[in-house]
Amino acid sequence: MKKLIKVSIVGLILTSVSIFATKSEILSNIEKIRIVTQGLSKNYFYKQQKIQISSARRGIKKNILSLDDSIYFLSKTLKNDEQKSLLEFMTFSVDELKITIKGKLTLENGGLVLDYTEAILEVADNLKSEMEVENNMLLILNEMKFLLERASKYYIAFRAGYKDPNNISQAKKAIKKFETLLVKVQKYNYPSHIKNGSVKKLSRYWPVSKNFYLGIKKSKLPTIVFISTKHMNRALEKLIKFHKSIK
């Protein structure tokens, strides 16, 4: 009887997720997927080129766990047939991606990693576009995290031999958009300790880091790009934490 009650309670909890998940919770998981797709491919190319190996390995494990968690959450909340079909395609792509990243870096495997992560991103973008989204600071900061990972992904992929002009174009678009959003962050009325902390750090790091990212065709400074991306992401995470605390 106790076991039956326990199972029933678990069932109610899972059901409640599908009923009571808010739009912001759904959107948060979609945003996580968008960011993680870029980070996962970035970490793959770093690991396979034996640059920042330990950090890249940890990143891959963390990325996969985050993908699995967010996809599971969405599977309990997205209910219409089109959303279910998109999520099924996303799940298939993630499964194939997990297999591919275990292999060595070859021209085919690297290309598949880029393709699968872009396919997952396209589904996430489609799901996001169906929601009425307010252009608030949380979304701006998450978009900046996404853009950093995207720019660094194409930087390290170029170094691995993926020199498609479209990849260079996408990296430059990410850099340009990040800079536009950074201005909005700089203009936001943060408390002085935030402005003199995370915002100041972003403002100081960006001009230098921007030049590294724009040097994609040379790709001579992969370690510096990796570290500067990590530091800027940490600053963005602190700003995200601040905005969540005042909601």
Domain ranges of the chain: 22-133, 135-247
Residue 135, pLDDT score:
64
Exposure of 104 in the CB half-sphere (CA atoms within 13 A):
1
What is 17-59 written as a DSSP string?
HHHH--HHHHHHHHHHHHHHHHHHHHHHHHHHTTSSHHHHHHH
SS3 state at 92: helix
Query: Each residue of 144-165: pLDDT tens digit?
Result: 999 999 999 999 999 999 999 9
- Measured distance CA(246)–CA(18) in Å, rounded: 26
Nearest-angstrom CA–CA distance, 62 and 138? 22
pLDDT at position 175: 96
15, pLDDT greater than 50:
no
Q: Is 135-247 the same fold as 22-133?
A: no
The predicted model scores a pTM of 0.88
Is the domain spanning 135-247 CATH 1.20.120? The answer is yes
Q: What confidence tens digit (pLDDT) does each residue in 71-115 have?
A: 999 999 988 899 999 999 999 999 999 999 999 999 999 999 999
Phi, psi (deg, nearest 5) at residue 76: -95, -5
Which CATH number is 22-133's, of 1.10.3470, 1.10.10, 1.10.1760, 1.20.1440? 1.20.1440
Are 198 and 141 in contact by the 8 Å Cβ rule? The answer is no
Q: Identify whether the C-beta of residue 169 lies closer than 8 Å to the C-beta of residue 153.
A: no
Cβ(97)–Cβ(103) below 8 Å:
no
Residue written as tokens 């065709």? Answer: 217
Q: How does residue 217 score in pLDDT terms, banded at 50, 70 and 90? A: confident
Q: Which residues contact 244 (CB under 8 A, 6 or more apart)?
A: 138
Of 145, 224, 215, 138, the closest CA to residue 177 belongs to 145
DSSP notation for 130-147: TS-----HHHHHHHHHHH
pLDDT of residue 4: 41
Q: What angle do CA 231, 233, 237 make, to 5 degrees?
A: 120
Can you tell me the distance from the alpha carbon of 37 to that of 98, in angstroms, rounded to the nearest whole number? 12
Q: What is the pLDDT of residue 216?
A: 87
